[in-house]
Amino acid sequence: MGETSALEFKFLITGEASRGSYVKVKDGSKDWIFAQVVDVTRSNVAYSLSMINEENTEAKERVVGLARVIGVASGGKLQMPTNPPRPGDPVLRADADLIERALGLSKGNLYIGLLDGHDLKVKLEADTFVQKHCSILAKTGSGKSYTAAVVLEELLEKGVALLIIDPHGEYASMKQKNTKGDFVKYDVTPKGYDVTVYSPANQVDAPHADRFFRFNGKNMTAREISAMLPEDVTNSQKGVLYEAIKILGSDGSEYELEDVIAQAEKDTSKAKWGLIGHLEALAELGIFSGRPTDLGDLLQRGKASIIDMTGVVPDLQGMIVAKLLSDLFEARKRNLVNPGMVVVEEAHNYIPERGSGKAASTAVIRTIAAEGRKFGLGLLVISQRPARVDKNVISQCNTQIILRVTNPNDLRALSKGIEGMSSELEEDIKRLPPGTAMLVSNEIEHPVTVKIRPRKSRHGGVSTPIVGGVKPRAKTMARTDKGTKPISSQAEGAKTVPDSGAKYEKKEAGGGFLRKILGK
C-alpha cells in the first residue's frame, strides 16, 4: 500500500504478522522479494480526537506493517531487487524453505538453536567459525556462558581442539550431562564431554582440578619474562631484567626465576624494586615449580582443556595467559601442536579497551585475532561488558552472538565494532529475553534472532542464592601431636589433584615466600 521502494514498503495486515516475522511479495513473474517486518502500527479513525463520538464506533481498524527488504532469492543466492514491489500486490508469510534458502541457515554444521518464531535450525559452518573468530557479548544474566557452552559442545563434536581460559571455574561441569531442558523440541540428546581441568593455583583453591598447570621455568629469556609483565612496566624496569638475564646466561649455566630475582636485587637502580615485586608475585604462585605442562596436551582434537583461574589474583591471571598463549601460538606456527580454538571468558579482563585497564595478555590476544587464521588458531571471546573489550579484537571477529545488552556505552561499542549495526538492531538487542541471541555473521545473509538450544552438558554458571542459601560446611578437623587442625577445604568426594613435579612447601618470610624443595 502507498509508496514503495526497493528497500522497504508498507502493507496492510489482514492476518497475523508480528515484528520480526518474514514475508514475501512477488518480484515480477518469477522470483520472490524476501523481507522482514520491522514495525507494526494499529490505527482506527473512529478513535481519533477529531472523530470520536458515541455513534461512530464501527469504523474498521487498520494494522499496517513496515517491511525492510532483505533481497530477492534467485538461483540460491540473495540479491537486492532493482524494482520496488507494486502497491496492491498481495504480501504473504514467507514459507520455511524460502527462509532457509534466503538466509543460508542450512549451510553449516554447528547447531546453535531455532530461528525465533519458527522451528528452523540455525547452523554455522565449523571451519569458518573457528578460522575467522567469534565473540559472544551480553549483559550479566542474559545467558552468555550458557550460549558459549552450546557453541563449545558443537565444536567438540566436530573434533575441534579447545583451550578455555576460565576465570570462575564455570566450564568444568561440561563433563556431566544435562538434566534440564526441552530436549525433544530442540532435538537434543544430553551427554558429557571429554574435559580436563588444569589449575595454576594449588589444590585448596581448585579442588576439582584434574591436574596442575605449570610452565618450564628454566633459562627463560628476558623476552619471555617481559611478555608476562603488566603493560605499565617501565623501560627502566625492563632494563634491569635484561641486565640480570644477561649476567646469568653469560656462563651457560642453568638458572630459574628465583635466580633472576636474586640477580635483580644486586642492581643499583631504584627501578629494580617494582620489577622484583612483579617477579616475586609470579614465583610465589608456584607456576614455575615441578614438571611443565606439555602444550600438546592442551590442544587435543575433540577434547577441551580448561585453565581454571580460581584462586589466582587478576594481575597474575593476565601474566599466565600472556605466556601460555605466546608459547601456544609459537608452537602452532611451527606445527608442533594441533590446530584449535582459544576461548577467553571474561575477555574484558584479558584484552581491556584502552582507558579501561591494562593486562599483560592484551598484545598476544591481539596477535592471535589478527594472524591466528593463517596458522589454524581460532579465537572466541566472551564478555559482559562490550565497551571494555579491545575494539581491535572485536572487529576481527567474523561472527558475533549478542544476547541482551542495555548499557548505552556497550551499545555504542557494538555499533562501532560490528558492521551493519542499525538503530532497529540496537532496539532489538535491548529487548532480547534471556536465552535468545542476535546472530550476526558473514555466513548468514542477514542478522537473525535465535532461541539458543538447551545444553547437552550440565550448566555450571548458576548464580548462588543469597536469601535462604546453603550454609557453609564446617571444616573437618584432624588430630595431630599439637592438637587439632583443618584437614582441607576440599569438598568431600573430590579427587586428589595429581602433582606433576616436585613437591614444595611455602614459608612466610618478610614480604614473600621462600620455597624449600623437598625432593622430586
Question: Which of 182-196, 382-396, 486-500 is predicted least confidently?
Answer: 486-500
Q: Are 382 and 347 in contact (CB under 8 A)?
A: yes
Distance CA 377, CA 338 (A): 9
Same domain, 229 and 348: no
Residue 462 lies in a domain: no
The pLDDT tens digits of the residues spanning 348-371 come to 999 998 877 788 899 999 999 999
Q: Which residues pair with 114 in a beta bridge?
A: 121, 451
Maximum mean pLDDT: which of 205-209, 256-260, 470-474? 256-260
Distance CA 178, CA 278 (A): 42
Q: How many CB atoms lie within 10 A of CB 178?
A: 21
Helix pair angle (362-375, 314-333), 10° resolution: 20
Residue 491 CB contacts under 8 Å (≥ 6 apart), including other chains: 207, 208
Pull the grid cell for residue 250: 653469560
The count of structural domains within the chain is: 3
According to the model, what pLDDT value does residue 316 have?
A: 84
| Structural domain harbouring 46 | 8-103
Alpha carbon distances (Å) from 64 to 57, 91, 323: 20, 12, 58
Same domain, 126 and 59: no
pLDDT exceeds 60 at position 473: no
Residue 459 lies in a domain: no
pLDDT exceeds 60 at position 94: yes
- Phi, psi (rounded to 5 degrees) for 446: -155, 145
Domain boundary among 103, 122, 142: 103
Question: Which of 112-121, 252-261, 318-327, 437-446 is predicted least confidently?
Answer: 437-446
Pull the grid cell for residue 174: 561440561
The pLDDT tens digits of the residues spanning 9-42 come to 999 998 877 888 999 998 776 788 999 998 899 8
Residue 1 lies in a domain: no
Mean pLDDT, the chain, integer: 83
* Long-range pairs, 462-466, Cβ under 8 A, ≥24: 463/141
Distance CA 306, CA 170 (A): 10
Question: Which of 14-23, 315-324, 426-435, 477-486 is predicted least confidently?
Answer: 477-486
Same domain, 29 and 149: no
Distance CA 126, CA 296 (A): 22
| Segment (H or E) for 321 | helix 314-333
Q: Which residue in the block uniquely carries the three cell numbers 602452532? A: 332
pLDDT-based confidence at 504, cuts 50/70/90?
very low
According to the model, what pLDDT value does residue 517 have?
A: 32
Q: Are 401 and 437 in contact (CB under 8 A)?
A: yes
Same domain, 117 and 153: yes
According to the model, what pLDDT value does residue 498 have?
A: 44
Residue 468 lies in a domain: no
The amino acid that residue 263 corresponds to is Q
